[in-house]
Structure 1
Amino acid sequence: MQEFDVVIIGGGPIGIACGLEAKKQGLSYIIIEKGPIVNSLFNYPMNMQFFSSSEKLEIDEIPFISKEAKPKRNEALEYYRRIVTSNQLNIHLFEKVEKVEKQGDYFQVISEKDEYRAKNVVVATGFYDLPNTMNVPGEDLPKVSHYYNDPHFYASQKLAVIGASNSAIDAALECWRKGAEVTLIIRGPEVGQRVKYWVRPDIINRIEEGSIKAYYNSTVKEIEPHKITINTEDGEVTFENDFVLALTGYMPNFEFLEKLGIALSDDEKRLPTYDPETMETNVDGLFLAGVICGGMETHKWFIENSRIHAPIIMNTIKHKMELAGKNS
């Protein structure tokens, strides 16, 4: 069994930042990622453009140069991949962590490929793995997806897009421009206020001119192979449909956090317990980093405001180890 000062679960931007900081502090570490480097970003839509400017996506003050002020997915993949390879970070890819157990002063981290031992564990797993489901009949049909990639797939098809956030609005516009007949189904009274400021007027104009049909204050009642039924302010509406993009948001893996012993708030936010001064949870030696800290408030933490978690955590671990050395 390999032993490290710290095991970092998650190889996204913040997990990578934690690895860089651990290396800088002289701590032995390993990053374990269940997919490719920055797996969540890899699964973003092919043409996605970030809300943040490139300098706000930088980690460890390594410059991020992009063609436009706000970089696109492929530029981010290149940036973070080069950081990993150039710094020779100790990262294991396509290796899912299945179990973490606290045994005395140590954690035993069990993956599908190996086992590791460490006094400290950092969870930086994000929230992109588990979609918020609608729990309606037909949601499991092959024509329904909670992830969007390429608009070409939906050309000349009747497409229902469910949601009012950036992902839903981007998909609606891109697919419409590729020739899809797009219908937006929005639970609230308007397009989301957090939609990118240069995109929101575009979708509103497309709706007002009738290019994209939108149902506000509406929810899905049932999805069938060739049609969809929704509940609207004016009653039930059924229309023909070929595909459904249910872009209703995502959530952290709360079951995994609870198995680790992390206390979650009892309200709908399900906020994990941690000390913002150290990022250490209620479990000694177990830390949180990145968007996972926000629970269901997935809009609260981004790369740009959670980069600071890496030095906070590694400074805390280094200090604790130094104290333990003095007292031994």
Structure 2
Amino acid sequence: MRKVLAILLPLLLTLTACGGMTTDDVMGGSAGNAAGATEILDSVTVSGGSDEEPPTVEFDPPLDITGVAAKTVVEGDGDEVQAGERVTYQLISLNAEDGEVLGDTYSRGEPQPLPVDDTLKEQDAELYDVLVGTKVGAQVAYTRPVDAAAEGQPATPQQLIVFRIISSEELPPPPPEPEILSPEGVQKLDDDGQLPTFTFDDDGAPAVSIPDNEPSDDLVVKVLEEGDGETVTEADTITANYTGWTYSDGEKFDSSFDRGEPATFPLSNVIQGWTKGLAGQKVGSKVMLVIPEPWAYPEAGQGSPEGTLVFFVELVGKDSAE
């Protein structure tokens, strides 16, 4: 999991700055939870707002963001957030140099989820420390230095983010870890008409037809055509033509066929469904993968496809690890 600020930046940069916010009595400088270089946030005050409307945030610009800082600037009146729970939040982001509002999530409707778990504790310890024990309804100011832009890329401004904690609840138990469905299990699904099927155009590009049934909870690997090349291992770098669709609606989300050339990548550096499903296959094989979400993109929501995925994969070649 990337750091929270890094996750949010692509979203925030696409939001439209908002104005016309109402103002109540200014609240700030709370004696609530704080962690990190909190002196950065000494001038931050927050007023107004609700679960549906962003607050007004004011501070003395520019903020000198020399480190990570998190602080409860407005106390909530709900239940305390406990370690291991999942909070939902809304946020507003401001340019730390001049106070300009860069965007917010309020206009997108539903609050966003954030597990207050060991992963957050490892990646954003300051935010974790502040959230644990903070009450629902609180406003939490947070900042982290933004890395310098790569050469030729536009600079990302330093940001101040203010979270409003909307709710907190126990995390649901994790789903059971998938397995690779046995060949007998795959054959039964195929015999029952419960597997996707493909058609191909004159250039060999696939289209998919997905049956009207729930997909398997396990990884389905069906060899459509076995190649006669070398066997692929997890340590190899492979070259493949492929297309991927979401099982729920049959929408295509990626295809090397559309780009006109196969893709090359280490098999150990892709989603688990590819690594586990293609290791042991031969170069030249054409394979269908039906990949359950835990082995696809379990943290979808940042532009990744959601749920069970269907892939057609043609293994074109491989480079063995030395």
The two structures have a TM-score, normalised by structure 2, of 0.22
Which structure dedicates a bigger proportion of its chain to strand?
Answer: 2
Which structure dedicates a bigger proportion of its chain to helix?
Answer: 1
The two structures have a TM-score, normalised by structure 1, of 0.22
Give 1 or 2 for the bigger CA radius of gyration. Answer: 2
Of structures 1 and 2, the one scoring higher in RCO (CA 8 A, sep 6+) is 1
